[in-house]
């Protein structure tokens, strides 16, 4: 069931999103060679809690038998890590790229966003991947309007990415969001068959292209959380929480880039 949000619920989601954006600003400033992903995690958690909110990801249950509940407040995925990198003692190096995915919960509602940041001086190839991933999101939301369908978003993302010579991850998708972190509908970043709801005013969607420089094939590491590219190629991630309106979509988690 897809839950359309009322105006008052959207206002509550804006509060969550504002905290998230300001946490991302602090993380962007902190991403430098030498900092560990665990230090980044602490920056995010402290800021979120200082503002009366809860990190949405902390303690999230894995769908895999025997896996631990997610131990971080952010997902910190470096270089060939696609999503769900667990924060730890790994220190970032000049030339790395890091995808930070973050969720915030307050007043009964979640927000969700991700960015891929450069660490120091990165290659032009890495920067091009980051830029294309970001732009694919904006290509997708051109179709996030009343009367279109989910697959219109998905297809436009895929076509843009493949036109740039990259591949779009198939194993993980975007989602609805609101009182729960993951709600209906699922939002693949590629053309698909199956349930394809028409977009309606008040839908809250987390659209999140995950883009690989090489093949779209991925594998899950033994920790049952971290996903990496199968061919060890770089991966980038860009996500925002948006609201479908009777006009252009509203991006609740816009900036920083």
pLDDT in tens, 166-218: 999 999 999 999 999 999 999 999 999 988 999 999 999 999 999 999 999 99
Enumerate residues 6+ apart whose C-beta is below 8 A from 185.
2, 150, 175, 176, 195, 197, 205
pLDDT at 256: 65
Helix axes 37-50, 7-30, angle to 10 degrees: 140
pLDDT at 230: 98
pLDDT at 255: 79
Task: Calculate what percentage of the chain has a pLDDT beyond 70.
Answer: 99
Domains, in order of start, for the chain: 7-251 (3.90.230.10)
pLDDT in tens, 108-131: 999 999 999 999 999 999 999 999
8-state DSSP, 22: H
Residue 246 has pLDDT above 90, yes or no: no
Across 55-67, average pLDDT: 93
User: In whole numbers, what is the pLDDT of the chain averaged over residues?
Assistant: 97
H or E segment and range at residue 13: helix 7-30
Worst-scoring range by mean pLDDT, 67-76, 197-206, 217-226, 247-256?
247-256
Token duo for residue 65:
């038998």
Residue 257 has pLDDT above 80, yes or no: no
Residue 98 has pLDDT above 70, yes or no: yes
pLDDT at 1: 85
């Amino acid at each position: 069931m897809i839950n359309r949000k009322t105006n008052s619920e959207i206002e509550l989601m804006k509060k969550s999103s504002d905290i998230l954006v300001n946490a991302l600003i602090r993380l962007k400033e902190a991403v430098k060679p030498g900092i560990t992903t665990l230090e980044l995690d602490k920056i995010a958690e402290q800021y979120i809690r200082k503002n009366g909110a809860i990190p949405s990801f902390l303690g999230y249950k894995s769908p895999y038998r025997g896996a631990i509940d997610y131990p971080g407040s952010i997902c910190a995925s470096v270089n060939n890590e696609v999503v769900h990198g667990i924060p730890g003692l790994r220190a970032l190096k000049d030339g790395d790229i890091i995808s930070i995915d973050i969720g915030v919960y307050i007043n009964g509602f979640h927000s969700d966003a991700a960015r891929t940041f450069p660490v120091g001086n990165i290659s032009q190839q890495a920067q091009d991947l980051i830029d294309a991933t970001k732009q694919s999101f904006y290509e997708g939301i051109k179709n996030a309007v009343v009367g279109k369908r989910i697959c219109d978003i998905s297809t436009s993302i895929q076509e843009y990415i493949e036109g740039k010579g990259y591949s779009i991850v198939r194993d993980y998708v975007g989602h609805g969001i609101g009182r729960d972190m993951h709600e209906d509908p699922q939002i693949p970043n590629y053309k698909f068959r199956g349930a394809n709801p028409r977009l309606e005013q008040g839908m809250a969607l987390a659209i999140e292209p995950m883009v690989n420089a090489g093949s779209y094939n991925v594998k899950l590491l033994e920790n049952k959380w971290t996903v990496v590219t199968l061919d060890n190629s770089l991966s980038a991630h860009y996500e925002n929480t948006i609201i479908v309106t009777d006009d252009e979509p509203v991006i609740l988690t816009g900036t920083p880039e």
